[in-house]
């Protein structure tokens, strides 16, 4: 039987047409994403241009934010955004890694599913709930118990002691970082858990067969194999921390100044925009807030680009011959 003769020309033409339509649709979808990204960037730049043209470099180097005198500087907000995100990652990364290791390597079956569901439910809690809880529950506890202990114990130490000096306000940079850490733990731990579950059982069994302990299998087999996915999860959590608004607004104190202590009030880019955008009077004030949004966009984009570059380097190093 001739196979070529059995093929319907009309069916083959229809297949080719559907293939071209599919390719065109996927290309348009990809182009749409780039168009939206470019449109957002251009809109932010257009709105921020009056403030950037007026203040020039002083907008980035000054921490003065005074709407009465039309003096605006983004340094305090940028500082608060970066410091609170770093505090959040410093707390969330080891906790999330521990949760993922426990769920995938150590937890009994009867406990694994309830804990996994609880983590996923924690990720679904609205950010304003975290803000209210942080203001009315966490902040008083920190003010009465934790911050006085940090001031008395860590405050007198050289170098690091400066970060824990001053009155215990309860709210401030440290409190915002802790709240952010609680918020990003579900994202990092869920991604890390899923990545750990992709590690082939044969690799772990080989490690055990060679006499490795559970600790050695986790840190020398599982973690190196899932390293790329772990970094991706951490970057996802960092992006969440950088852009968080309502929860931070409740607990950071909303003060446009840079303090040497982590216990002092501060602000972030997103909190400043949320607090003041509806009350902004005048083109320069509004443009300065839009410029803050442009800075946040640039910071987030730079972080994601740096993470992608680092992942590419790790992949090339893993594929390169020893």
- Which has the minimum average pLDDT: 116-120, 169-173, 303-307? 303-307
For residue 78, give both structure tokens: 């940028």
Predicted confidence (pLDDT) per residue in 193-219, tens digit: 989 988 888 988 888 888 888 888 989
Residues 266 and 297 in one domain: yes
pLDDT at residue 317 greater than cutoff 80: no
Task: Say what the pLDDT of residue 1 is.
Answer: 47
**Phi/psi of residue 2, nearest 5 degrees:** -85, 115
Which residues, in sequence order, are bridge partners of residue 266? 253
Q: Are residues 195 and 215 in the same domain?
A: yes
Q: Are residues 160 and 193 in the same domain?
A: yes
One domain, residues 89 and 43: no
Rounded mean pLDDT, 143-152: 92
Q: Given this model, what pLDDT does residue 319 score? A: 65
Asked if 107 and 149 sit in the same domain, the reply is yes
- In whole angstroms, what is the distance from residue 322 CA to residue 320 CA? 6
Query: How far, in Å, CA of 261 to CA of 150, rounded?
Result: 11
Q: Which of these three, 55, 70, 85, is where a domain ends?
A: 55
Range of the structural domain that residue 289 is part of: 58-319
The verdict on 179 and 230 lying in the same domain is yes
In a domain, 2, yes or no: no
Q: What is the largest CA-CA distance in the chain?
A: 91
Place of tokens 């929860």: 247
Percent of the chain with pLDDT over 90: 48
For 80, other C-beta atoms within 10 Å of its C-beta total 31
The 3-class secondary structure across 161-186, one letter per residue, is HHHHCCCCCCCCHHHHHHHHHHHHHH
Per residue in 261-311, pLDDT (tens digit) is 999 999 999 999 999 988 888 889 999 999 999 999 999 888 888 888 877
Q: pTM of the prediction?
A: 0.88
Residue 177: band (very low, low, confident or very high) from pLDDT cuts 50, 70, 90: very high
Does 322 score more than 60 pLDDT? no
Q: Write down the pLDDT at residue 264.
A: 92
Range with the poorest average pLDDT among 1-15, 45-59, 119-133, 152-166: 1-15
Tell me: do 256 and 313 sit in the same domain.
yes
Q: How far apart are CA 177 and CA 148, in angstroms?
A: 18
Clarify whether residues 47 and 130 are in a common domain: no
Cα–Cα distance measured from residue 278 to residue 286, given in angstroms and rounded to the nearest whole number: 9
Q: Quick one: pLDDT at residue 306?
A: 82
For residue 279, the 8-state DSSP code is G
Q: What element of type H or E holds 71?
A: strand 71-72
Judge contact between 116 and 103, C-beta under 8 A: yes
Residues 140 and 212 in one domain: yes
Rounded alpha-carbon distances, angstroms, from residue 39 to 34, 44, 132, 283: 8, 9, 35, 21
Tokens of 173: 């940079």
- Whether residue 62 has pLDDT greater than 70: yes
How many CA atoms within 13 Å lie on the side-chain side of 252? 35
Whether residue 30 is found in the same domain as residue 131: no
In a domain, 190, yes or no: yes
Asked if residue 154 and residue 139 are part of one domain, the reply reads yes
Please compute the mean of the pLDDT values over residues 5-32 and round it to a whole number. Answer: 84
**Among 133, 166, 134, 138, CA closest to 152:** 166
- Domain CATH for 89: 1.10.3720.10
At 318, the pLDDT band (50, 70, 90 cuts) reads low
Which percentage of the chain shows pLDDT scores above 70?
A: 96
Q: Is residue 97 part of a domain?
A: yes
Torsion angle, alpha carbons of 165, 252, 298, 190, to 10: 100
Using the 3D structure, point to which of 18, 38, 55 is the last residue of a domain.
55
Number of domains in the chain: 2
Q: What's the DSSP call for residue 65?
A: E
Last residue of one domain, picked from the residues 55, 75, 92: 55
Structure tokens at 306: 């740096």
Query: Per the domain annotation, does 283 fall within a domain?
Result: yes
As given in the structure block, the two tokens for residue 303 are: 């972080």
Question: What per-residue string of b and e applies to 8-31 under the rule 16 or more CB within 10 Å gives b?
Answer: eeeeeeeeeeeeeeeeeeeeeeee
d(CA 39, CA 49): 15
1 domain-assigned = no
Same domain, 51 and 63: no
Q: State residue 106's pLDDT score.
A: 87
Tell whether 46 is covered by a domain.
Answer: yes
51 inside domain = yes
Q: Is residue 276 part of a domain?
A: yes
């Amino acid at each position: 039987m001739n196979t070529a003769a059995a093929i319907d020309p009309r069916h083959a033409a229809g297949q080719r047409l559907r293939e071209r339509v599919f390719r065109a649709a996927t290309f348009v979808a990809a182009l749409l994403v780039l168009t939206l990204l470019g449109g957002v960037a251009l809109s932010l730049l257009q709105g921020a241009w009056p403030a950037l043209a007026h203040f020039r470099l002083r907008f980035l180097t000054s921490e003065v934010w005074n709407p009465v005198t039309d003096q605006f500087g983004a340094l305090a907000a940028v500082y608060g955004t970066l410091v609170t995100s770093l505090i959040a990652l410093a707390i969330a990364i080891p906790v999330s890694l521990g949760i993922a290791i426990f769920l995938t390597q150590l937890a009994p079956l009867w406990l694994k599913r309830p804990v996994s569901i609880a983590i996923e439910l924690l990720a679904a809690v609205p950010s304003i709930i975290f803000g209210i809880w942080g203001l009315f529950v966490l902040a008083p506890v920190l003010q009465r118990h934790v911050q006085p202990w940090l001031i008395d114990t860590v405050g007198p130490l050289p170098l690091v002691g400066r970060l824990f000096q001053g009155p215990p306000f309860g709210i401030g940079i440290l409190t915002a970082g802790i709240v952010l850490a609680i918020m990003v733990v579900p994202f990092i731990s869920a991604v890390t858990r899923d990545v750990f579950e992709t590690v082939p059982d044969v690799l772990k069994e080989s490690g055990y067969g060679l006499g490795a302990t559970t600790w050695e299998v986790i840190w020398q087999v599982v973690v190196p194999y899932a390293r790329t996915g772990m970094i991706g999860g951490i970057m996802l959590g960092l992006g969440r921390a950088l852009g968080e608004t309502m929860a931070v607004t409740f607990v950071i104190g909303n003060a446009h100044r840079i303090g040497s202590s982590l216990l002092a009030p501060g602000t972030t880019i997103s909190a400043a925009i949320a607090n003041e955008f509806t009350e902004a009077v005048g083109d320069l004030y509004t443009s300065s807030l839009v410029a803050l949004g442009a800075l946040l966009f640039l910071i987030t984009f730079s972080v994601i680009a740096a993470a992608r570059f680092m992942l590419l380097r790790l992949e090339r190093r893993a594929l390169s011959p020893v």
